[in-house]
A and B are shown apart, each in its own frame.
Chain A
């Protein structure tokens, strides 16, 4: 729809391609190739940074080790503040990987000129601007909090649907659907919208004017990664603790 602009633009400095994908066919399955290409790039960055940080661990950290320890402490604090001192440890890898992957994805989309790399169809962008990615993460979060709830409280987990009153049962069930929905659409919408705004501004005035919006995009990207990880941790905590703190007293 917006690509109609391109006919007026002889230079084609920027163009918008939404909903066009670079399809790979695996068997009779279709996958979005551009998402995987950029996600492998993101995974590569994370793995290389991790290997560089842990290659030669020193007691007094410096350079990349210091930086990655800072990142790890940030993630641990995030998990600890949501899940509590007692339970946060096993969930650090899940929440941390959510945060790191989304953060690096978003910033790679905001900082790297992916669109200059030509691929046969569609365009490269942050992996998180594809609904498949965000829904995958949101569903994993749902599975994670169900798993956490069942492991911690067994079948007593279902009690949380009728507590404090069975009247709220439909809403409690609805929550299990709205949580992944809101998680995935928040991330997807923010990232896609940011990229679209930047693209539209570049299309109209391709010099300097988009810069403030791009800076805002960096901010939004970081915040969205933080929000996703924090909410995932909060949902896991809620599943483990039930509503309110009453379960806590029963156990102790």
Chain B
């Protein structure tokens, strides 16, 4: 069972040869493949992370722009509303003034006509009263 002979050194040499051969056809190429893959994955991951951060910054920029635009539009709407209010107030004031003027004119005309009517009425009263007087005087005479 324990007979040592030339098997031992030959097996050792054979083993070393196997290690050298496997190093050339197994360990080196596959180690290289594994490490290349790791590099590739790391590189791609970094790229993806870069792109993600870039996309995020872009999205943030767009959001800022959107908010800015919304603020501007609100300001424009508010300005337009204020202007419209001003115009409407102005128009209302103008109309009121005009109405006032017309009302005063009408009142003045009414007064004038009233006076003319009064005057003619007074003349008629004079004439009538003279006639009455004449008739009375004639009747009594």
Contact = CB atoms under 8 A, between A and B. Distances in A.
B12 A139 contact: yes
Interface residues of B, number: 32
B27 interface: yes
26 contacts: A18-B1, A19-B3, A26-B6, A29-B6, A31-B5, A31-B10, A36-B10, A39-B11, A46-B26, A50-B25, A54-B29, A59-B37, A65-B30, A68-B26, A93-B19, A93-B20, A100-B22, A130-B7, A131-B2, A132-B8, A135-B4, A136-B11, A137-B11, A137-B12, A140-B12, A140-B15
A3 interface: no
A80 interface: no
Given A47-B22, A93-B22, A132 B34 contact: no
Nearest to B31: A72
B26 A21 contact: no
Contacts of B30: 53-54, 57, 65, 68-69, 72
A94 interface: yes
A29 B9 CA distance: 11
A50 B33 CA distance: 13
A133 B6 CA distance: 11
Given A39-B14, A65-B30, A137-B11, 10 more contacts: A31-B6, A46-B26, A59-B33, A61-B33, A69-B34, A101-B15, A131-B4, A133-B7, A136-B12, A136-B15
A135 B23 CA distance: 23
A204 interface: no
A51 B26 CA distance: 7
B16 interface: yes
A29 B13 CA distance: 15
Interface string A114-141: 0000000000000100111101110110
B21 interface: yes
A248 interface: no
Which among A30, A39, A73, A97 has the greatest number of chain B C-beta atoms within 10 A?
Answer: A97
A43 B18 contact: yes
B7 A32 contact: yes
A133 B25 contact: no
Nearest to A75: B27
Nearest to B20: A93
A83 interface: no
A191 to B, nearest CB: 13
Nearest to A46: B22
A183 interface: no
